[in-house]
A and B are shown apart, each in its own frame.
Chain A
């Protein structure tokens, strides 16, 4: 499948609220793109605009080379004509229809033969490992099973584009983990261009080939999970991505170092002389139990082991830094510890604008 999605200058307002603001984005054929952002950032609205469930107030949308929406030309194809499938947050299985009826509804619209419908249902149920559930009603199944049926319903009519609106958010933590793997595999097999909406950054990082981070209807950054994680384009993205949260240290850029009052870090400041913020991922800080060159002395305020890794909250005066180390840490609370920062891993931001200064984009 080679369907790209192109969004040009899309705007959608609800009364005086601008849900999507002059939004442009190109989604590569076969990509798994995640729209990520806090609730109310416009990601679901954008998805609904692509689906044709909302009528935007400006801009245009292409699916493949087909123009499905253009404000300037007054064009808007009905959702059914856009050849896409949508999995809703609450699954939206029709409660008065059996699984079979749910799955063949769209096929009946397409006037497929009975044999073909049976074959499609069988095939799609197999893909989500729900063989033999044809005659169940939605309420006779668990949440996880309903989720699979919702997926199968979409697979059955073979759309070119998969749209998913927080499909895993109603599942419990364990099931969500399992389904992530399944969804990713499904996408790998079907190779359909997928737009996935979530507010869960872990979900976004684990599943996507590309992530678009949104805030207040505006695209903040588009990139691969690695780019988004390693080099957030601005403070909002840096702060939103990562668990435990990134450390944002406020300081003053002076020549080739940044001064934090208690200590300094030598790094490229791209000539910035203003107030800056340095973003440090917790796992990019190393801890030494004795002073080594270039290290800064902190106190272990709190130690939080969690099996595979441990989180240490280090304190120096007013300053707190979260550090993540592998395995169970030998550090005890109130120990004196020495932190070492790797300038290569640090991102430098302008405090005023929040834009990244180093590394340059």
Chain B
């Protein structure tokens, strides 16, 4: 056929041609996947957010009690005015927000200091035992974030909570002051000692990937060690630090466990605890206003941070091969530093766990005599005066069911998340440069900036009523899976993208040329080659879901109780020792899961974080 003949095609032929082209575009695997993911994210992120906002700007049925002229369903700013201004605004929002920001800022700075220094010591000095420290530094990550808070309470509590003495009082003889027992100081400390892991991971990865030629060039130019560290090394790890800041800040802002344990006794409320409170008394719209404020603050601060560092400075420091990093000699300080690190690890890992075990073995809380030691809370019979008559944790069918719920939740969430991660990675990487790919990448990032408790709140708004073909999921186990998968989408897309980047596009194209269809390509090429990424995503999600509290605390029911929320209910019920045992069980399960999962196909936590 010649060109003029083509030009003379009739309109109908042209229509056929363009519809064929459209169908071809639509049936490309990356487009199909993109559209499915788009739908999924619309359903899991956009609609819930929309419903949440709508709830806050319309009259709710219960508003009629306080405002008789309210028209249910009509638009109103009532909830905003109520929560943001006046005396109520001060109690409900302003003061808690100041507290939240104080804690988030304090914890972020402190964990930056701890994680950054530890990373530098491990990667860039000749400190002995660096390998061990490198592994131990990750341990706090597998413990629930409020483990330390609970251990803190065992040690430092005064008579204000529970009326029994803590270990401190037993040893020193006087009761510790309130500021040491409760409130911002312990909350910041406990959060930082948990979240420093992010900084440690990010900064050590960045330090390892810096070409030491860059530093040597500085040295040749006659710059001092300190100057090189300040002017060359620091700017190069700045993007890594920024990632840590964003992650930690938004996590602490949305964290519920620590502030609930250590803040509530002295009425030191944060936005997260206020949201829970408002949901508890049925003021959904009020709780959503708080959640929206929390989201806005989290987004603003993340935005500011990114502005501050700027995209121009996010250099590519990874050259594809490992560099032999230049090592700083610690000299005489070596022993001092090592001792310091050992003491630190003991304080962060051994002491808290020891305290939890000890407290769980005390028949009566706060009685430190040897005769008080007992296994009552572990394997005691039902119907005693202890723990409201519940049997010991290990004999308690409720706990077994709860543990099974936790495992089930973590496994399902990890499975879906890892799968979605690989598919998202494929859609994003294969579609690089198209608007669809960009849109999906941006949508996938949204849950990242929504603090955990607010994300949970969003899902109440979404699933309390049926939506189209989807039934009302509130109170079901499925909802817990959905919310956990939704919250993990940013992480899974990150690790999925980095896993897909490792697979050159030629590998799939070679299979395409061989005549393999899309399913075969996924089965024989894509999935096997991204299996390490899949396992890593699975591992990360499994661990975080097992010990996640803030996200699901608003959504669990007695039927769907998991270990993490069970500890909080025990604590609030005054059964702190039972709570401690449950925490110990939880940590054991996470550790076992970690051991088993990381055996497969080179999966690792670091890869799960997209590094």
**Chain A residues at the B interface, C-beta cutoff of 8 Å:** 8-9, 14-15, 51-53, 55, 60, 70-76, 78-81, 84-86, 88-90, 92, 94-96, 105-106, 109-110, 153, 157
Contact status of A109 and B513, CB under 8 A, knowing A74-B21, A96-B528:
no
Q: Which of B17, B506, B514, B528 contacts A88 (CB 8 A)?
A: B506
CB of B332 closer than 8 Å to a CB of A: no
Contact status A92-B506, CB under 8 Å = yes
CB of B509 closer than 8 Å to a CB of A: yes
Contact status B515-A110, CB under 8 Å = yes
Contact status A85-B513, CB under 8 Å = yes
Minimum distance in angstroms from A167 CB to a CB of chain B: 12
Minimum distance in angstroms from A195 CB to a CB of chain B: 13
- List of B residues within 8 angstroms of A157 by Cβ: 514
- List of B residues within 8 angstroms of A72 by Cβ: 6, 9, 13-14, 17
Contact status B3-A8, CB under 8 Å = yes
Q: In the bound complex, how far is the Cα of B1 from the Cα of A58, in angstroms?
A: 14
9 closest Cβ contacts across the A-B interface? A80-B515, A74-B20, A74-B17, A106-B514, A92-B506, A92-B510, A88-B506, A72-B6, A109-B515
Contact status of A60 and B1, CB under 8 A, knowing A74-B20, A90-B506, A92-B510:
yes
- List of B residues within 8 angstroms of A78 by Cβ: 512, 515
- List of B residues within 8 angstroms of A110 by Cβ: 515
Q: Which of B6, B433, B520 contacts A109 (CB 8 A)?
A: B520
Contact status A51-B507, CB under 8 Å = no
- List of B residues within 8 angstroms of A105 by Cβ: 511, 514, 516, 524
Q: In the bound complex, how far is the Cα of B43 from the Cα of A358, in angstroms?
A: 69
Residue of B nearest to A89 (CB): B506
CB of B525 closer than 8 Å to a CB of A: yes
CB of B46 closer than 8 Å to a CB of A: no
Q: How many A-B residue pairs have CB under 8 A?
A: 91
18 cross-chain CB contacts under 8 A: A51-B513, A52-B512, A52-B513, A55-B21, A60-B1, A60-B6, A74-B21, A78-B512, A79-B513, A79-B515, A80-B512, A85-B513, A86-B510, A86-B513, A92-B506, A94-B529, A96-B529, A106-B513
- List of A residues within 8 angstroms of B512 by Cβ: 52-53, 78-80
Contact status B513-A84, CB under 8 Å = yes
Q: In the bound complex, how far is the Cα of B516 from the Cα of A55, in angstroms?
A: 18
Residue of A nearest to B509 (CB): A53
Q: In the bound complex, how far is the Cα of B528 from the Cα of A106, in angstroms?
A: 17
Q: In the bound complex, how far is the Cα of B514 from the Cα of A81, in angstroms?
A: 9
CB of B16 closer than 8 Å to a CB of A: yes
Minimum distance in angstroms from B111 CB to a CB of chain A: 38
Minimum distance in angstroms from B494 CB to a CB of chain A: 23
CB of B24 closer than 8 Å to a CB of A: yes
- List of A residues within 8 angstroms of B509 by Cβ: 51, 53, 79, 86, 88, 92
Q: In the bound complex, how far is the Cα of B512 from the Cα of A85, in angstroms?
A: 10
- List of B residues within 8 angstroms of A153 by Cβ: 510
Q: Which of A8, A70, A80 contacts B516 (CB 8 A)?
A: A80
Q: In the bound complex, how far is the Cα of B517 from the Cα of A110, in angstroms?
A: 12
Q: Which of B3, B504, B511, B528 contacts A9 (CB 8 A)?
A: B3
The A-contacting residues of B in range 493-519, CB under 8 angstroms, are 504, 506-507, 509-517
Contact status B16-A74, CB under 8 Å = yes
Q: In the bound complex, how far is the Cα of B524 from the Cα of A175, in angstroms?
A: 32
Q: Which of B19, B20, B520, B529 contacts A95 (CB 8 A)?
A: B529
Residue of B nearest to A78 (CB): B512
Residue of A nearest to B21 (CB): A74
Q: In the bound complex, how far is the Cα of B512 from the Cα of A76, in angstroms?
A: 14
Contact status B510-A94, CB under 8 Å = yes
- List of B residues within 8 angstroms of A15 by Cβ: 433
Minimum distance in angstroms from A58 CB to a CB of chain B: 10
CB of B18 closer than 8 Å to a CB of A: yes
Q: In the bound complex, how far is the Cα of B433 from the Cα of A55, in angstroms?
A: 15
